[in-house]
Amino acid sequence: MVRSLNNTTGASPRFIYHDSIAVMAIILDGRAIAARIRDKVKTRVEAMTVKPGLAVILVGDDPASHLYVSLKRKACEEAGIRFELFLYPSTEATESIMTQIELLNQREDVTGILVQLPLPNQNTDQVIAAIHPNKDVDGFHRENMRALSEGRQSIVPALALGIMKLVDEATHQISPPAKGELGGGRTAIVVGSAIFAEPLRYLFVEHKITTERVDSDDLELKSKTKTADVLIVAVGQPGLITGEMIKSGAIVIDVGTTRIGDKTVGDVDRISVLPIASALSPVPGGVGPMTVAMLMLNILKATGIQNVKGKM
């Protein structure tokens, strides 16, 4: 049987199955999916009488951090979300930043607070803990992490949400689950740090996907990645994952980013992986744009929580 799938959800190119074996993986178009989400956010913001507002704290002059913040500013402005930037020198005292956060916690017009990481010299844990959990649009506050781990309502890190959305999109395009099913019973392998894998593990549980984390220097790396129906890689080592490390038909999400000259590349060797996998989230154009879009959704969520709970 030859089956071709229509590209309705931003994937490119169309792909063809021969007797259920994918000839070439679809490349998940994170930019297109993110653009649709940002359009929806914009429509929702237009309907809101009290508009959401994001305050961003940016410390130091790391070019990558400044670039990420400029992307967040652009996304907010396009969506009609107020954006305020608080810039500090890299030597700013931790206490001074915490005092600013306290002021932002009190302001009703600021419904989201984000501290761009990494902080150059400050105590990150103390700074994040100063943010009110209902305004913590990064979902990094320990209260939000705990709520997620206990399956309670919480703000979830945008990167994890973006990855989950890409996995959902891939799942629906490759073999849509029957009505009422979540497409569960699968195994996900996450190659990366524990702090990166943790929120993903909880999200995957909700989708009945079992998760195992593996370090990139694990001697069994290849035999473990080969068991993955869903493989997520966030290491920052170009070419780490090759086709021979992939289970046939796996969904592969590349989260690594390494600058090589004027190009950004991921951890996945695209040429050897594409004929084996069923879907690949590329770098650039995969999780990057998704993370910004999911941040916009988190700002709406935080605004909603604050409206329900009233003044804090």
Report the interface residues with ligand GUN, using CB under 6 A.
114-117, 138, 158-159
Residue 116 beta carbon to ligand GUN: minimum distance, rounded to whole angstroms: 5
**Distance of alpha carbon 138 from alpha carbon 77, whole angstroms:** 18
Instruction: Establish whether 218 is a catalytic residue.
Output: no
Residue number with the shortest CB distance to ligand GUN? 117
Instruction: Establish whether 61 is a catalytic residue.
Output: no
Residue 99 beta carbon to ligand GUN: minimum distance, rounded to whole angstroms: 19
Residue 223 beta carbon to ligand GUN: minimum distance, rounded to whole angstroms: 31
Instruction: Establish whether 40 is a catalytic residue.
Output: no
Nearer residue to ligand GUN within complex by CB, 138 or 229? 138
Q: Considering the candidates 116, 122, 173, 306, report the single residue annotated as catalytic.
A: 116
DSSP class per residue in 240-277: -B-GGGS-TT-EEEE---EEETTEEE-SB-HHHHTTT-
Collapsing DSSP to helix, strand or coil, 180 comes out as coil
Query: Quick one: the chain helix, strand, coil %, rounded to 5?
Result: 40, 20, 40
Rounded to a whole number of angstroms, the distance between the first and last alpha carbons of the chain is: 60
Q: Considering the candidates 72, 135, 224, 301, report the single residue annotated as catalytic.
A: 72
Nearer residue to ligand GUN within complex by CB, 250 or 294? 294
Residue 94 beta carbon to ligand GUN: minimum distance, rounded to whole angstroms: 16
For the chain, the farthest-separated pair of C-alpha atoms sits apart, in whole angstroms, at 65
Nearer residue to ligand GUN within complex by CB, 41 or 290? 290
Tell me if 158 sits within 8 A of 139, measured CB to CB: yes
Structure tokens at 183: 């497409």
Q: Considering the candidates 29, 138, 254, 269, report the single residue annotated as catalytic.
A: 138
Residue 172 beta carbon to ligand GUN: minimum distance, rounded to whole angstroms: 25
Nearer residue to ligand GUN within complex by CB, 3 or 66? 66
Nearer residue to ligand GUN within complex by CB, 115 or 300? 115
Q: Please, which residues have CB within 8 angstroms of residue 128's CB and are 6 or more apart in sequence?
A: 115, 136, 138, 140, 141
- As annotated, the active-site residues are 72, 116, 138
